[in-house]
Amino acid sequence: MGETDTLDFNKARSYLIGFSTITMLLWYFGADLSTFKLLGNEVRLKENANDVWMVLGVINAYLWLRLYQRTPAGSLCFDLEMHELYESNLISTMKFLKKGEMRRHAQQMIKEAPRVGSATTKLIKFTPRGKMAYDTSSSIIPQEHPTNKLEVIRKLSNESRNEIDYSFYIYCKVNENDSHISGGQILTVTPRTPITMAVKLYTFAKGSLVSPWLFDHVAPLILGALSTGIAFSKWWQINYPFL
């Protein structure tokens, strides 16, 4: 596969989008392809007119393959912007789903705080701050050896990829006196697969509106495949109407 934003990739994408769009418009409006104008002159096909849609399909398939061969490696997977959107959505989702567990964790942090001892305590408010566990682990991303974050993410296992570390800022009362606790023990949460899949689907839908990833890399291939299928289907209907 090619490199990102190369001239070959951009040209291949433009050709596929343009030809696929024309093919779909011809199909949608029921164009008669036995006659057409070329450089202002009317051209009428006398032979093999029934195979015009097959020719369009073959050309479309060629352009699709040409684009696929020049598509940057890994660009059909989430890019860094989409991964960051996914992480933000996952952190917010788990913060909502694990609210009860987080409250119990905050209460335990108050009991274990220095100088609390046997004092009377009351949790008033707590604010969890989530961060992906791999992003806080020096063994995964050594601080002395900066690494491409996207490469690191794609090499992680599902469990390591989705682990979240929550730190807490806690407002409480100790013997009726206001007190604040921050830091302390981290709460690590590992979402289950159904949750991560649901968040990924939501991220895909939201990302298609706020990120160029889908329309830059995925949508042209979908459009090309769809128009190729339509062209061959139309050719089949014309030549084999009773099958």
pLDDT in tens, 97-156: 999 999 999 888 888 877 777 777 788 899 999 999 988 765 555 554 445 788 889 889
Report whether pLDDT(37) > 90: no
pLDDT in tens, 60-106: 999 999 999 999 888 899 999 999 999 999 999 999 999 999 999 98
In this structure, what token pair is assigned to residue 77?
A: 């997977």
Instruction: Give the model's pLDDT for residue 143.
Output: 52
Three-class HEC string of the chain? CCCCCCHHHHHHHHHHHHHHHHHHHHHHCCCCCCEEEECCEEEECCCCHHHHHHHHHHHHHHHHHHHHHHCCCCCCCCCHHHHHHHHHHHHHHHHHHCHHHHHHHHHHHHHHCCCCCCCCEEEEEEEEEEEEHHHHCCCCCCCCCCCCHHHHHHHCCHHHHHCEEEEEEEEEEECCEEEEEEEEEEEEECCCHHHHHHHHHHHHHHHHHHCCHHHHHHHHHHHHHHHHHHHHHHHHHHHCCCC
Categorize the per-residue pLDDT at 2 as very low, low, confident or very high, splitting at 50, 70 and 90.
very low
Residue 59's SS3 state is: helix
Do 90 and 206 meet the contact criterion of CB atoms below 8 Å apart?
no
Instruction: Give the model's pLDDT for residue 11.
Output: 92
Instruction: List 172's β-bridge partners, or say none.
Output: 123, 179
Average pLDDT of the chain, as a whole number: 86
Residues of the chain above pLDDT 70, percent: 89
Categorize the per-residue pLDDT at 41 as very low, low, confident or very high, splitting at 50, 70 and 90.
low
Residues of the chain above pLDDT 90, percent: 53
Instruction: Give the model's pLDDT for residue 108.
Output: 87
Backbone angles phi, psi at 37, to 5 degrees: -105, 135
Name every residue whose Cβ is closer than 8 Å to that of residue 8 and which is 6 or more positions away in sequence: 2, 70
Report whether pLDDT(226) > 80: yes
The listed range with the strongest mean pLDDT (10-19, 48-57, 108-117, 145-154) is: 10-19
Of 126 and 184, the structure prediction assigns the larger pLDDT to: 126
0.85 surpassed by pTM: no
